[in-house]
Structure 1
Amino acid sequence: MIDVKTAQDLVLKHSSVSSKILEVDLKDSLDFVLAEDVVSKIDMPPFRQSAMDGYALQISGAINYNVIGEIKAGDNNNPMLNIGEAVRIFTGAPVPDTANAVIMQEKVQVQGSKIITQMPLAMEMNIRPIGEQIKVGDIALTKGTAIKGAHIGFLAGLGVTKVAIYDKPSIAIVVTGNELKAPGNVLSFGEIYESNGAMLTAVLNELGYKKTSVIAVKDDYDSTKKTLKETIGNHDVVIISGGISVGDYDFVGKALNDIEVEEVFYKVKQKPGKPLFFGKKDTVSIFGLPGNPAAALSCFYIYVYPLLKKSEGALNTQLLSISLPLLTDYTAKGDRAQFLKARMHGAGVEILDGQSSAMVRAFGDANALVFLPEDCMQIRKGQKVKTILLPSK
């Protein structure tokens, strides 16, 4: 059995960035990761631009200016201004080459075709210079950037229409167990509804991983071996739910061994999720998660999520963690490191009720996991704890 840090390091050590690079329309790139730097082909702004509604003028020693025209956003006229002359101008409009200041409309008095300035003028005031935001040849976004809506807006403003992105992995979720029945059917005595497949699919989709499938397998060796072999041959990442322990009807471990999956580690000194498996078959990553829903989801966030982020080329692979004071006393049971479902409230964090590995309901209220190392079982109110922020949309 290995510790949490060793397990996390081994997952990243045995994962790699996808070799599948696609060129996609910018509008379709949301939540993908850039595979190449994006270099600006234009200056932004591409012309001297007014930052205000007001008057562009050629500064003189006087306070009176003759208004000789008007320029709106989108106009391409470039009038010649002499000293003491001005044009009415609007935000975003091109500033004439001969203007050296823009005064906001609230700071002038209008008298017919003249304005009287009511504040001191300074050279280039309220004028956005060419290339203020970015210049031709500058890197607009770096390789490894996870593309968000604001990035798409920024690149669209530079005239970018296509970007190179890392393809996301195809992911299979294999659920095991004779006791599992699909929701919508009537349960017989001893049966339960299968939920891990639906839960993990939903979480993956929420995180932007759409190429997912759920495959059910009964608890017998031949079916398990056949299903796993086919699934591993057709996906980049395989997540197995249940069947990884050492019970009489847990066939996953033996099947993985017989199809020559390399075991990187099995069992981690943690709670929940002790019977966690991670292995490799060629370039395919295989996780064996505990069957209990809360344990499966905890292991997903701590181990599967970083591998997925690395595989799609992201620079930041781990969930963000911060140190927050605990809002109540807490006593942990056992001698293993613990991941506890928690909720942040203002500047503190509360450990929620329902910490059993079989209870997933508390995850609906959780926005964080509190991590307690194995040598830290008694935590007092106000003591700071490592708080792992769960992803949110």
Structure 2
Amino acid sequence: MSASDHTILLENVTFTYPGTDIGVHDVSLGIRAGELLAVIGPSGCGKSTLLKIIAGFVQPSRGRVIIAGKDAAGIPPRERNIGIVFQSYSLFPHMTVLENVAYPLKLRGRPVAERRANALDILGRVGLKDHIDKLPAQLSGGQQQRVALARALVFDPQALLLDEPLSALDAALRVEMRDEIRRLQRAHHIATMHITHDQEEALSMADRVAVMRDGRLVQVDAPKALYAQPANRAVASFIGHANLWRGRVVDGTSVETPLGILKTAPHGFAAGEPIVVLVRPEKLAIGSAADGVNTLTGKVTRDRFLGSFRRFDFEVGGTKLLGETGNMAEIRSIHILPEAVQLLADHDGKRP
């Protein structure tokens, strides 16, 4: 990765909290201008620590943070010219909406008239121009979040960091606000890192998604590629729903599983190799295959109607499969197309 191609660039960055091995380890990652990168992973995986390193709140023990082509070592947070929106929004309760948004410009010594004009402009873009004299307590959660976004963007930052900004909102408002964030991010063509625990949020918003585990990057990819081609079992189980089994390769087009031998598309794994078998729930087809391949007979043990589709558990000889389908007919058998049977290396490294 080249610093000239990225607004934010991390080179082999390591940081651990004193007396622990918790933190981030040897992380290299770049974010280009106009790109929204979502960072996801289980609690304690290091995603918020990564944000703090970029913001300058903690200093890496090894590696470099480069912002807009310049090494950020020794540059305090205020001088990094990065907008940040926290989970709690951190609005000043005694300040009006206009005063909250204009505050970063005040810190930078901008004239009063310029502060007001710029704050009014960005508040207009987030739809809050009619609320400029209200205090944060007089606003809804969604409105407060818009104020926080406006404040983070008003000084025209080089990059934007979002630390789970939607987690305090109800489900319907989260969907609305993630579209709003994406709209503003694109309009400003700003390099953005979005920290979230919500994989649906990450997949729907991001240009690329970085998955972290135990302080390390496991995979960085476009959302569709991440879902369709996970690097290993950890990514496959974390992204979306998945049927995962340990198995063993029989030959170039079949694999032994707890369900029996399943036919696969041609693959490059060696016969006898231990393998992880992945089948996404939506890939389970109702009924028997015309040629009988990968047809399984069993019983539905749980069936959940979810509007446009149903999610069901299907038991075959003591092994449960999770399925999703828009077909509302009775289910007595299912089949899996060979190309829907994915093979992953049986370790946490990269796929062959």
TM-score, normalized by the shorter chain, greater than 0.5: no
* TM-score bucket (shorter structure): under 0.3
Q: TM-score, normalised by structure 2?
A: 0.26
Q: Pick the structure with greater CA Rg.
A: 1
Q: TM-score, normalised by structure 1?
A: 0.24
